[in-house]
Structure 1
């Protein structure tokens, strides 16, 4: 055999082997699309849990939906929320404010996980008093690139929001309708469990979006699997397959019905918040942490993982399993159905949430021209607050 022919055969064999390896690594381990993401089972080894400091005054018996606001001092003046008090029972948490050990009101145990710490603290410390009208969860800045309007004004969006209509579909709704900067579009990003996502995370360790996507499968398994002892039989998989994607709207602003909150026990929210705290090296809350399963130490990554979690927790998935009395006990979550519910058509969403119906220019499921424009570099001009207030 000539040397050139032999070399070509070796190259072909090498290429075929590499191709087979790529296909093998990207295969789905199972054809099942049902996942056991129904109950938070994370187990902390911390000996000290945070005390109650996050109760919202006057919430018990309120006929208005709660509006949980997660802010930091850098968000600026919070006076814009006063105009919304006729519509909502406003509960404002300032994550970087000094803790008052004598107060039980509107404080968080640590500035960790971005908005998630305030959201979870509200759910834990006000669990029994969630209003029958539900609750909304938003960020503390009035003007932000992710607020779904041409002027990016959350005050106007919240004033127009029809909470009851938003909750009628599945008991949960993200406040964004436009699909830009989200995982709703199949072409937006590769599946979180894919080989491409894992490689990209290694090549771009500074990229919080890519790193958090790569960390999501393991985080879901740790949160919903725990030590595995409490998993129901036949409840589905824990780990995302190589071709499975969790589709979701960005940016962790949403409304949720009371019964959707109560489909999980208070202890589950405690465990979820402790997952965040256990991953922090400077929270000062825990003496011992379960570092292997706890949240990533990078706060941007931990917070972004939780932004994928809210709709998994709150969207109604099916009838409760009568064999299991746990509030969150369902037979399993159907990923395809979850993705469909998480990413409604933009025109339907604008009509349902904000009363903007019969829109023109809706040339794709996730886009209605003239309703929202993604600003350059995801940033509003520095003088935006001054010029638009």
Structure 2
């Protein structure tokens, strides 16, 4: 009798499990909501860096600002100056020698790659963001992350239609092709998954694996602040194991004044301090990882979360992922006026190809650096650059 009862209980339990699985598959899943609306990190630093990142003349400009994170290895900046008829140039020399007398276009430290430049601009020029918006880029003209047939950021910026790019959400990544980043669902495991954790342990040399593994805690600390640190309240702050953050590569984007002002200046100060607190002898263990490859990459996933508007005070992750990854055809048409391309969802024929090992040949700039990208003039390689949009 006892054996028969046990068998009946096992059968009943099996039936209940099957019913639960069926109901779970049939019912729509609840939205994945996260409280990623305000930066709440609190620094332990005794003082904050002085303001030395003002961009001269910005307060009187009617052009979009072009914020450039430039280091000496990026080479000359003449190609940027040829874009001055379209943009108000704010070129930051990130690795320039420290000179306390210089009060413009300087950052407090060479930290987090382009992130330190972007945040310094937002902090020191918060009240002078042009109504026309702002474009944030790296300092090299030719690089694999530039979404152009010749990887030429000069051509992309000359063609960029800033008002159209900002029309939907007030933010847009400058890349359209999906061959880098995490837009395809099969591109990488969720950042909080066990697979990501194991990969970061087995491949400590991989900046992607280690930064992905660091992201859940980093986001919880940044958006949860002292409350999260003291009480360990991770619900709605720390990424679930099956919740990926999808985003375009590579931290070059355009954003509106209104989107910037959705967050206070103090939030950008806190975010920069998270970056700075992770470096030095008395580093904060809850601050950014010391390795710039990791710290900078974590922040590269943050920009669209900050600037794409969310409703009801919480971030719907599925909706955010969809907004962060528009189809390649829509993106090329909206940003660069290329509206009759042959495309699938991820790429458009003839527009971009990821170079081997994500590296251009050493002589690429020498071969293509003299190409003309002025409005209406045919380039030496046979391309015709579109006329830049004039605000």
With the length of structure 2 as denominator, give the TM-score of the two structures: 0.84
SS in 2 for 1:227: helix
Q: 2:270 — aligned with what?
A: 271
Determine if contact 1:70/1:119 at 8 Å carries over to the other structure: yes
1:71 Cα deviation after fit: 1.1
Structure 1 segments, 4+ long, off by >4 Å, are none
> In structure 1, what is the Cα distance between the partners aligned to 2:289 and 2:31?
28
Q: Does residue 352 of structure 1 match 2:345?
A: no
Q: Are residues 1:305 and 2:304 paired?
A: no
Residue of structure 2 in register with 1:295 after alignment: 288
What does 1:132-151 correspond to in 2, within 5 Å?
132-151=131-150
Distance (whole Å) between structure 1 residues aligned to residue 141 and residue 64 of structure 2 = 19
Q: Note closer, same or farther for the CA distance 1:162–1:230 as it changes in structure 2 (3 Å cut).
A: farther
The residue aligned with 2:239 is 240
SS across alignment from 1:111: coil
Q: CA deviation at 1:94?
A: 1.2
**Unaligned 5+ runs, structure 2:** 1-28, 370-391
Structure 2 partner of 1:53 = 52
Q: CA deviation at 1:103?
A: 2.2
Aligned-residue offset at 1:296: 0.4
Give how far 1:61 is off.
Answer: 2.2
Which residue number in structure 1 is paired with residue 248 of structure 2? 249
1:327 counterpart residue number:
none
CA distance in 2 between partners of 1:59 and 1:168 (Å): 22
Q: What's the CA shift for 1:126?
A: 0.2
For 1:178, the equivalent position in structure 2 comes to 177
Aligned partner of residue 313 in structure 1, secondary structure: helix
Tell whether the 8 Å contact from 2:329 to 2:339 is kept in structure 1 after alignment: yes
Map of 1:372 onto structure 2: 352
Kindly provide the CA deviation profile for residues 184-241 of structure 1, in whole angstroms up to 9, marking residues without a partner as x: 000100000000000000000110000000100000000000012799xxx9700111
Whole-Å separation in 2 of the counterparts to 1:262 and 1:230: 27
The equivalences for 1:103-142 within 5 A come to: 103-142=102-141
CA contact (8 A) 1:41 1:223 kept: yes
Tell me the distance in 1 between the aligned counterparts of 2:277 and 2:176: 34
Give, in angstroms, the shift of residue 104 of structure 1: 1.4
Q: Residues 314 and 236 (structure 1 numbering): CA distance in 2 closer, same or farther, change over 3 Å?
A: farther
Partner of 1:14: none
Partners of 2:310 and 2:229 lie apart in 1 by 20
How many angstroms apart in 2 are the aligned matches of 1:236 and 1:367?
36
| Aligned residues: CA RMSD | 1.8
Tell me the residue number matched to 1:381.
361
Runs of at least 5 residues in structure 1 that lack an aligned partner in the other structure? 1-29, 283-287, 319-329
Count of equivalent residues: 339
| Equivalent residues in 2 for 1:150-169, closer than 5 Å | 150-169=149-168
Alignment of 1:22-101 (within 5 A): 32-101=31-100
Would you say the 8 A contact 2:31–2:318 is kept in 1? no
Does the C-alpha gap of structure 1 residues 315 and 107 become closer, same or farther in structure 2, counting only changes over 3 Å? Answer: same
Aligned to 1:216: 215
Shift of 1:275: 0.3
Secondary structure of 1:228's counterpart equals helix
**Residues 236 and 332 of structure 1 are in contact (CA less than 8 Å); yes or no, is this contact kept in structure 2?**
no
User: How far apart are 1:100 and its partner, in Å?
Assistant: 2.0
Q: Which moved more, 1:95-104 or 1:335-344?
A: 95-104
The Cα of 1:31 is off from its aligned counterpart by: 5.0
SS in 2 for 1:267: helix
